[in-house]
Amino acid sequence: MSKELVSALVQLGAERGIDRESVLLAAEEAYGAALNRKHGSADIHVRLDPESGAMRVFRARRVVEEVLQPGAEWTVDEARGTKADAAVDDLVETEELSPEIGRIVAAQARQTLQARLVQIQRDSVMRSFAEKAGGIVTGVVARADRRNLVLDLGKAEGYLPATEQSTLDTFRIGENVRALLLEVRTTVRGPEIMLSRTHKDFVRKLFEIEAPEIGDGSVEIVGLARDPGSRTKITVLSRVPGLDAVGAVIGQRGSRVQAIVEELGGEKIDIIGHVDDAAEMIGRALSPAPVSSVVIDEATKTARIIVPERALSLAIGREGQNARLAARLTGYRIDIASDAPAAPEGGEEVAATATDESDAQPVGEA
């Protein structure tokens, strides 16, 4: 191999974002693999001089008491002819093959090297995306199979399945889409970049982008519960005296929260100021419904809520959504009843119970 060829390889690697050392190592492995195929062995390896391009070919044999694989093993006596202090299990190298590899072997090596550089580039790209897991990425819709989307992320493609889109999401080919990078996972087809727009952290990251106070730590998102495509409840707390956390997150004339609502296709967002008192926090979490009283049983993490009769359906929400999100937000099991007189014997008290620990945020630990 000539110095010019080494320079060309290094330049090719640079264009693919691969460092010099990785390119040279890949070249050594490619030429070593080609020589092993030629000689029907597995013990040949190559070293390249990065300055001159000179190639040196070595064979590495394991020292054993009894040779079972001729050409890959030798006895102690044979090994000591090359290395005086050779002992069993040592790997002894000999430079006994000519670096002149021939055109066929060179062509095989170049083919292997090209495939290896492509793999190195792919692995590097996937590592860079894996480091972005938990953040928001933007891509262009490249392909769609029903509602399953493939996004062009620039150096790679991301997969946004229908199950990770809300019912409000509708996208067309060529449209820009923002999503949360969930993970880079290994599949039978190779690594895949998995995206989501339904994960609650998607909303959290959107707020970090829209509200600088959250990004710099002045305002903290204490809890977040989400029913994708319908409603999100979020509790915030100021870490700076005099700073209105709710106002900072909402923005002037609601500009910040409205930008997120539009990104989510119209999903409703309730922003609630966090307090340490559990009863008050639970009452706030049930907004926009007014609450008459809250009785908490800390032993069972249960809260019994009394609301005006006219507000019972509002407190419970459609299909129990408001109560369910409040339970997720506070970490309490919630029972809701109206302040109407007790139902006659044989009647039924109207109540709602909601509990879901998956999004629970302990109250009183801000």
pLDDT per position as a tens digit, 265-314: 999 999 999 999 999 999 999 988 999 999 999 999 999 999 998 999 99
Q: Determine the CATH number of domain 3-129.
A: 3.30.1480.10
Confidence check: pLDDT of 207 > 90:
yes
Q: Right CATH number for 289-366 from 3.40.190.80, 3.30.300.20, 3.40.630.30, 3.40.190.10? A: 3.30.300.20
pLDDT per position as a tens digit, 119-175: 888 888 888 899 999 999 999 999 998 889 999 998 889 999 999 999 999 999 999
pLDDT per position as a tens digit, 28-80: 888 888 887 877 776 777 888 777 777 788 777 788 888 877 767 778 888 78
Confidence check: pLDDT of 3 > 90:
no
Q: Where in the chain are the domains?
A: 3-129, 132-196, 199-274, 289-366
- Smallest Cα–Cα separation from 361: which of 331, 324, 327? 331
Per-residue pLDDT at 97: 62
Per-residue pLDDT at 2: 61
pLDDT per position as a tens digit, 235-266: 999 999 999 999 999 999 999 999 999 999 99
Residue 348's pLDDT band, with cuts at 50, 70 and 90, is very low
| Mean confidence (pLDDT) of the chain | 84
CATH class of 132-196: mainly beta
pLDDT per position as a tens digit, 312-347: 999 998 888 999 999 999 999 999 998 877 655 443
Confidence check: pLDDT of 358 > 60:
no
Superfamily of domain 199-274: K homology (KH) domain (3.30.300.20)
Same fold, 132-196 and 289-366: no
Q: pTM for this structure?
A: 0.74
